[in-house]
Structure 1
Amino acid sequence: MTQSTPESKFVRWGFIGAAQIARKNWKAVRMSGNGVVAAVASRDVSRAEAFIHDCSMEAPPVVVNANGEATLARPVAVGDYQDLIDRDDIDAVYIALPTAVRKQWVIAAAKAGKHVLCEKPMAVHADDADEMIAACRENGVEFMDGVMFDHSSRLPAVKEVLADSERFGKMRRIQTHFSFCADDSFQSDNIRASAELEPHGCLGDLGWYCIRFSLWATGDRLPAAVSGRAISVYDGGSVPSEFQGELKFDDDLTAGFFCSFRCVNQQTATITGDQGYLTIDDFVLPFVDAESKWQCHQHELQIDNCRWNFGRHTTNGAVREHASGEADSQEVRMIRSFGESILNRTRNERAADIAIKTQRVLDALRQSDAENGKWITL
């Protein structure tokens, strides 16, 4: 098993898969300060070569030399996933493969002593996810799913607002919406409409973030029960293209979400208390800016005989954080945080635990949909 030593300054990354999102993480590794991309694997080595070429044009790569120093050099293109996993110059793998095949390669990487950052949703079923995490723990490697907003500095700041009894009060409701409007070729050409490759459709691709945000807002608690329905479907009726879900927690808190491949771009979250509510317009992918923002609201309805006044009382909040591609961006924080756990040999138990919880909620929502929206107890 080859891993970075405690004295290492860099995590040597291997990318498995050349998906579009991997390009963003290529730059995140480059900006992290503690990682380098050592190799990229694709079943077609020419695709790996093209990926390396294109990414290098924007973010010139570095590799670690024999002295442990990072120097400008080109990562290796590999035509076989297992060959990349077996390399001695890889400490961690980033897996950007379709959901249907992730389990195999997460387990293979874990058995080879490689730490795993995995795209979401992490698995087809929660049982598979349990096996994946078990393999990582048995082999002493870290696991994290690729939810970038988990690492935004906005979330700790928002948590402070939610803890303010005067501004927010007791949490009552969480509502999220994540959608984009796919083009006419999406259903026939995109793997997210394929039952074979991405069986969860929009629920796995978009709803994963909605579920995760709700769990985060509640302190990583699992709901007591969930109900879900696919509103529209692809691929013979098995792949959700629009989905709505409800989560009930054990203290009268509820959460709801809607995700869709058929509605305009929207990434909104609302958390409502009995004294005020908080809104985020870009909870997954921040708007282009040097700040991550939110708004707090305590609107007031005043009634005096024939006069009805609904007063707006809104305050703005923000943290300094670039939207993407800079050292303080959420995807760079994700890579850096993962790297710190590896280099310092500290366990990040929350990363694996919250991924499993998200998968369990997703599974229960699929079961509910199959049973016509029946409430499923977790």
Structure 2
Amino acid sequence: MDALGVVGDLGWYCVGAVLWAKNYELPNVVSALPAGVTRNSAGIVLSCTACLNYDQDHKTVAVIHCSFFSYTSMDLSITGTKGSLHLKDFVIPYQEGSSFFELASPATFMDDQTGWNAETEKVVVDNELPQEAFMVQELARLAQGIKKCEFRPDNRWPEISRKTQIVVDAIKKSIDLDCKPVYL
């Protein structure tokens, strides 16, 4: 088990999704929520909910929940002023051959103010191979290209990994500080 428990395991994907949605910008404040933290008898975090706050002009708040107790829940929802995106299997696809996400934009109240006028668009992505096979193919392609001096490694990945780990560590630190905010 990861030394950071669920935060270092499933939380990595949740944090990565938030950073992706925010163009890899770090939040200003990270706070674990006291009611959302569950530990086992050894003190390992098994379930966690945390808020990532961004204090820019648009005042973004991201809430992540990662848990070893959440059966087949691998959802990602992003809601903004111009639309929303919902993906039900962002960590591991439920089906090897395809995955899908739903988009809705823009949304306004209907004339009688009783509902929204937005229709959801379902976008299906078909895969020829399982994602693990694509990962192995990509690794082999990258290694071969670097070996032959055809191209250099993509420099953005170390920075993305570093930022993801900074936020993961801040969540764990907040948990260890009885869910007090951690400023980045």
Deviation at 1:356, TM superposition (A): 1.1
Aligned to 1:317, which of 123, 126, 134? 123
Cα 1:218–1:341 change in 2 (3 A) is farther
Cα 1:291–1:222 change in 2 (3 A) is same
Q: What is the distance in 1 between the residues matched to 2:181 and 2:116?
A: 37
Paired residue for 1:250?
55
Paired residue for 1:216?
20
Paired residue for 1:290?
97
Superposed counterparts of 1:31-70, under 5 Å: none
Deviation at 1:270, TM superposition (A): 0.8
| Alignment length (residue pairs) | 177
Structure 1: gaps spanning 5 or more residues: 1-191, 193-197
1:287-313 superposed Cα distances (whole Å, 9 cap, x missing partner) = 215333211124553253xx8344451
8 A contact 2:37–2:46 mirrored in 1: yes
The percentage of counterpart residues that share the same residue type is 28
Paired residue for 1:274?
81
Q: What is the distance in 2 between the residues matched to 1:334 and 1:233?
A: 37
Paired residue for 1:369?
175
Paired residue for 1:22?
none
Aligned to 1:302, which of 110, 116, 124? 110
Q: With the length of structure 2 as denominator, give the TM-score of the two structures.
A: 0.83
Larger gyration radius, structure 1 or structure 2: 1
Deviation at 1:200, TM superposition (A): 0.8
Deviation at 1:364, TM superposition (A): 1.0
Q: Whose helix proportion is higher, 1 or 2?
A: 1
Q: With the length of structure 1 as denominator, give the TM-score of the two structures.
A: 0.43
Report which structure shows greater RCO (CA 8 Å, sep ≥6).
Answer: 2
CA RMSD of the aligned region, Å? 2.4
8 A contact 1:199–1:239 mirrored in 2: yes
Structure 2: gaps spanning 5 or more residues: none
8 A contact 1:292–1:323 mirrored in 2: no
Pair 1:226 & 2:30 matched:
yes
Cα 1:348–1:309 change in 2 (3 A) is closer
Q: What is the distance in 1 between the residues matched to 2:168 and 2:62?
A: 14
Paired residue for 2:166?
360
Cα 1:297–1:353 change in 2 (3 A) is same
8 A contact 2:108–2:118 mirrored in 1: yes
8 A contact 2:31–2:51 mirrored in 1: yes
Q: What is the distance in 1 between the residues matched to 2:138 and 2:63?
A: 26
Deviation at 1:340, TM superposition (A): 4.9
Q: What is the distance in 1 between the residues matched to 2:55 and 2:142?
A: 32
